[in-house]
């Protein structure tokens, strides 16, 4: 399969230039009906896309022998594999996101087994509701994100709760043109306990098919462009949950509590009042106030956005 990749300085947190935000793609479907298998089995259909991915799988499984959050070893390792930066070729997150963003949904079929395992793991994690950040360097994306526009991000979106993480040259850096996304999320997934980098990045993942409204723009410095997004519920299901109808039925029968299944299986949101960005309903005025307030909290030596 011929694949077009770019992976020079791109990281999980900056991999968003190729998001097709100008039009909505067809919903993602079919992965929920495949059998849930081990990570070793799940990567077999995609192993030819990578150089030595079996070694990376071994590392991920080794590091996830005692998983937390109720995940299995394979589920936790699937998240860790997503976070790993491969040497000598594209990392898994780049090719996965490339397929998730493709208009040809057939490109996703080899990924179904991994996607099933990966999304199953994410669905088990508590939902995070609050302010998160991600961005991209060397480009101004403001024209693609007009105020009032609604759009979907089809890739797995790695974000952080800490702007300081983006100071590194690996991410946005301190100079040059940068686009920073300030995101009010309601269904983020805190994956730092399962990440290869653990607590270093304070990562929150937005799942494929996350849907947003553009609330406004801000330009606090000539080369810094801040775009405020608010996660909202999409009008249709853009990505099917990783559970087939048969699996759902079996769960109902096993628990014997069909009347409370929906409540029992929904992860409880993380209560994060200290980080939570209030809903902005009065337009750009409140948005600017919140952004400026947040930027003032940086120590002078850490005001890297204005370097």
More confident residue, 118 or 304: 118
- Cβ contacts of residue 29 below 8 Å, gap of 6+? 105, 240
DSSP β-ladder status, 210-221 and 224-231:
antiparallel
Per-residue pLDDT tens for 158-206? 999 887 666 665 566 667 898 999 999 999 999 999 999 887 678 999 9
Q: What residues does 230 pair with on adjacent strands? A: 184, 213
Q: How far out from the chain centre does Cα 89 lie?
A: 21
How far apart (Å, rounded) are the C-alpha atoms in residues 294 and 289? 9
Q: Which domains does the chain have, with CATH numbers?
A: 31-252+267-306 (3.90.176.10)
Q: Are 181 and 227 in contact (CB under 8 A)?
A: yes
Phi first, then psi: give them for residue 167, nearest 5 degrees: -65, -30
Q: What value does the mean pLDDT take over residues 72-76? A: 98
How far apart (Å, rounded) are the C-alpha atoms in residues 68 and 74? 12
At 176 the pLDDT is 83
**Confidence tier at 305 by pLDDT (50, 70, 90):** very low
Look-up of token digits 């991600």: 134
Q: 255-263 contacts: CB < 8 A, separation 24 or more?
A: none
Count other C-beta atoms under 10 Å from residue 5's C-beta.
13
**Confidence tier at 3 by pLDDT (50, 70, 90):** very low
More confident residue, 10 or 83: 83
At 181 the pLDDT is 93
Q: What is the crossing angle of helices 73-83 and 112-124, to 10°? A: 110
- In the predicted model, is pLDDT for residue 106 greater than 90? yes
pTM of the model: 0.79
* DSSP conformational letter for 236: S
Q: Lowest-confidence range among 102-106, 122-126, 248-252?
A: 248-252
At 166 the pLDDT is 61
């Amino acid at each position: 399969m011929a694949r077009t990749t770019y992976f020079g300085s791109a990281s999980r947190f900056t991999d968003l230039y190729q998001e097709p935000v100008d039009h909505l793609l067809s919903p993602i479907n079919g992965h929920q009906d495949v059998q849930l298998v081990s990570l070793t089995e799940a990567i077999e259909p995609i192993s030819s896309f990578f150089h030595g991915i079996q070694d990376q799988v071994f590392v991920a499984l080794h590091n996830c022998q005692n998983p937390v959050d109720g995940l299995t070893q394979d589920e936790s390792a699937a998240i860790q594999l997503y976070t790993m930066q491969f040497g000598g070729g594209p990392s898994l997150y780049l090719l996965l996101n490339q397929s998730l963003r493709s208009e040809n949904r057939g490109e996703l079929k080899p990924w179904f087994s991994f996607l099933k395992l990966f999304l199953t793991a994410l669905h088990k994690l508590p939902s995070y509701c609050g302010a998160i950040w991600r961005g991209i360097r060397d480009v101004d994306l403001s024209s693609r994100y007009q105020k009032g526009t609604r759009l979907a991000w089809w890739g797995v979106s790695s974000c952080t709760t800490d702007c300081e993480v983006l100071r590194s040259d690996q991410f946005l850096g301190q100079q040059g043109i940068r686009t920073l996304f300030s995101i009010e999320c309601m269904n983020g997934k805190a994956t730092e306990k399962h990440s290869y980098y653990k607590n270093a990045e304070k990562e929150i993942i937005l799942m494929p098919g996350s849907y947003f409204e553009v609330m406004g723009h801000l330009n606090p410095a000539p080369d810094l462009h801040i775009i405020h997004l608010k996660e909202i519920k999409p009008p249709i299901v853009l990505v099917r949950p990783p559970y087939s109808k048969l699996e759902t039925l079996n769960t109902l029968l096993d628990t014997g509590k069909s009347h409370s299944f929906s409540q029992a299986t929904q992860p409880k949101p993380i209560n994060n009042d200290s980080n939570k960005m209030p809903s902005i309903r009065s337009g750009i005025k409140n948005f600017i106030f919140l952004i400026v307030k947040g930027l003032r909290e940086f120590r002078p030596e850490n005001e890297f956005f204005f370097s």
